[in-house]
Structure 1
């Protein structure tokens, strides 16, 4: 299926909506207890389980509207389903919280493997939308490996030592904002490596040839 374009605002809503929905649902029912099948589940567990179909519906909508699903979206969906299932099965919120560590850790590992092979797999994913010299991609990839690793460690420390509410808030807002800000700063700093497609000088081209 050929990729189609959709309204950028709608695309952002579909991509960010599930996480915001999880935050809203959790804040709404965080103090509640639910008896399901003879087992008592906390509001966190219920919100985590409800998050799974919301995310899958969002990815399905993106696929139907654009004709394409990114590798990152597929990977995220698999991780969320797996850890969401463990969370419900064992009635333990720890599995859902570890999901973030696994995602960031896997990104760091995959990019790191590419670097060991002398390649920037980040360029393979983003090269078409961000033309940049190979050296620039290698620098950005090395820095992003460190950033993903730092986020994975931060997530482990936070969920193990802080309240559920603080973790949910940081997971929803702080981590994505930190990663976005990091990327913007890095792309700005790597400006000299960016490739600008120069257009021919139309004025010069239109001038008639000179005669002696």
Structure 2
């Protein structure tokens, strides 16, 4: 059998396509579930009493975060018959660190997960550049078609940005409350990421192989 389970490389011919907005929603959805469950844990446990066995709000949120992550990957696979590279890496760590959090009843593991995942993403992207591979194309090639120099520059910038997010997560969870960390994980990290993406528009325009926006008369 020649079918691939994990998505192919950038601009691969015949690669299944998915709407960029839907892809974004699938990646953001589990985080929204995590935030809602942490802030409305009492309501969630009243609706689903079995979840009360998991522990306090963060543990209930962690359990639902794991389920939502698996659901998002399942939907992505159902639509494209492949699994996206970066969400797979993140999903594995959600499941591993989530399981450790619930098993040991220790918030440390789920709080450190973003630090480790962002650090690994940075290592993968920057390490790939050392071997001449701009791996960011696995993430964005459905939205943008760039030349090799464009992918290289964009990969470098994202690698450095992931290092920044790793350091920021460490600072937030160590020096603020759990509720603040959960809120920041969703409503702080995401705006920062969107702002960073918007700052890359000049680079994308310079290196795009096709118009980013269709001109209208």
- Which interval holds the TM-score relative to the shorter structure? 0.7 to 0.9
Within a 5 Å distance, the mapping from 1:73-152 to structure 2 comes to: 73-123=87-137, 125-127=139-141, 129-152=143-166
Which of residues 30, 47, 72 is equivalent to 2:86?
A: 72
**Superposed displacement of residue 191, structure 1:** 2.4
**Superposed displacement of residue 22, structure 1:** 1.2
Counterpart position of 1:184: 198
Q: Which runs of 5+ in 1 are unaligned?
A: 198-212
**Superposed displacement of residue 177, structure 1:** 1.9
**Superposed displacement of residue 143, structure 1:** 1.4
**Deviation larger for 117-126 or 83-92:** 117-126
TM-score (norm 2): 0.77
Question: Does 1:62 find its partner at 2:76?
Answer: yes
Question: Does 1:161 find its partner at 2:175?
Answer: yes
Q: Please give the alpha-carbon distance, in whole angstroms, between the structure 2 residues aligned to 1:115 and 1:70.
A: 20
**Superposed displacement of residue 119, structure 1:** 2.7
Counterpart position of 2:35: 23
Backbone CA RMSD of aligned residues: 3.0
Cα pair distance change 1:61/1:151, threshold 3 Å: same
**Superposed displacement of residue 5, structure 1:** 6.1
Cα pair distance change 1:193/1:50, threshold 3 Å: closer
User: Would you say the 8 A contact 1:15–1:58 is kept in 2?
Assistant: yes
Larger radius of gyration: 1
Q: How many residues align?
A: 195
Higher RCO, 1 vs 2 (CA within 8 Å, ≥6 residues apart): 2
Cα pair distance change 1:9/1:193, threshold 3 Å: closer
Q: Which runs of 5+ in 2 are unaligned?
A: 4-13, 212-217
